[in-house]
Structure 1
Amino acid sequence: MRNCVSGFRDLFIVTLINPKAFLFASTLLPPEMFRSLTYFSWTLAAFQIVLVPIGFGCSCPGRMLTSRRSWATRTPILSRCASLVLVMFSRTLGFSVLSK
């Protein structure tokens, strides 16, 4: 059985054509980050400090939904609400990028 990404070159190309990475780097990370190694390190550290609680915040509701059978009936409603929030976020992000 063959892997989808077989080597460093393939992984690099897949990363380059990933539009989320481009939007992330162009909108959330400051341009000064790429001019200094010290600033780059501090920016990545701050980003990871923010990212870890967000990751836990996203995984905890999913864990609660799967741990209690009585909440399983609410899963479709919560999934729709989460998708609505993601659509609103992506539209505002897209609008801010396109309006410049």
Structure 2
Amino acid sequence: MIESWLFVLAMMAVLMTPGPSNALLASSAHQQGMAKTIVLVPAELMGYFYAINIWALIIHLSAPVWPNLIHILHFLSIVYVLWLAFHLWKSAHLQQHNQKHPSIQPRELFLTSLKNPKAILFAAGIFPLETWNSPLNFVMVFAVFALVLLPVALFWMSFGRAILSGQNQKIKADLLYKGSALMLILCMFPVVFRFFA
């Protein structure tokens, strides 16, 4: 059984972080509406599912030959998260992303999630090591992942749509980016602690 569920905080923080998948959901909600965009969420979930498991398999297969790979990936994940947090602090590219993608299909969101570097974070540092020890742990962790992904996707659809359509002038994209960067740093403490423990 999984000893600590603190990884759920880090999972929420990473999923909330603005990125290509979230920007595609926001753009699609703005262009096609919420009802048509909600069908894209399973494509995003499947992209993450495959990417996380591919990285976990690479880590598992390389452990006997190169046992330090997990530590290297864990360290690079932490560096990536810190870079992402500080990069997002001064970044607001939602409008540009919306103009580049006029029509978003499930395949596009699947491939974007599959190539998303966040999957390395989940496989190497956020998901507990016990995830792959038993089918029960595997199912529980991915069920929690799906339960966290759904409200995050809904948030990005509604919030991104409001920003892109200019419905709410009080909401600023920069404020969201700064808030998510701060939340990302705070919620990644369990991952950083596990690296040094």
Paired AA for residue 192 in structure 2: V
Query: Is 1:58 aligned to 2:156, yes or no?
Result: yes
CA deviations on 1:3-26 (whole Å, 9 max, x unpaired) are xxxxxxxxx8xx868653232234
Counterpart position of 2:85: none
Structure 2: runs of 5+ lacking an equivalent = 1-50, 56-72, 74-115
74, 88, 97: which is aligned to 2:182?
88
Q: Would the aligned equivalents of 2:126 and 2:191 in 1 still touch at CA under 8 Å?
A: no
- Secondary structure, counterpart of 2:172 in structure 1: helix
Separation in structure 1 between the aligned mates of residue 137 and residue 157 of structure 2, nearest angstrom = 30
Structure 1 runs (4+) deviating above 4 angstroms are 15-19
Q: TM-score, normalised by structure 1?
A: 0.58
- C-alpha displacement of 1:81: 0.6
Separation in structure 2 between the aligned mates of residue 84 and residue 26 of structure 1, nearest angstrom = 25
Paired AA for residue 161 in structure 2: R
- C-alpha displacement of 1:36: 0.8
Paired AA for residue 61 in structure 1: F
- C-alpha displacement of 1:28: 3.1
Separation in structure 1 between the aligned mates of residue 134 and residue 190 of structure 2, nearest angstrom = 30
- Secondary structure, counterpart of 1:63 in structure 2: helix
**Which entry has the higher C-alpha Rg, 1 or 2?**
1
Call closer, same or farther: CA 1:52–1:70 in 2, change over 3 Å: closer
- C-alpha displacement of 1:90: 3.3
- C-alpha displacement of 1:85: 1.4
121, 146, 153: which is aligned to 1:48?
146
Counterpart position of 2:17: none
Q: TM-score, normalised by structure 2?
A: 0.34
Counterpart position of 1:97: 192
CA deviations on 1:36-55 (whole Å, 9 max, x unpaired) are 12220121012102210121
Counterpart position of 1:36: 134
Q: Would the aligned equivalents of 2:132 and 2:138 in 1 still touch at CA under 8 Å?
A: yes
Separation in structure 1 between the aligned mates of residue 158 and residue 146 of structure 2, nearest angstrom = 18
- C-alpha displacement of 1:89: 2.7
Separation in structure 2 between the aligned mates of residue 57 and residue 70 of structure 1, nearest angstrom = 15
Count of paired positions: 83
**Alignment RMSD:** 3.3
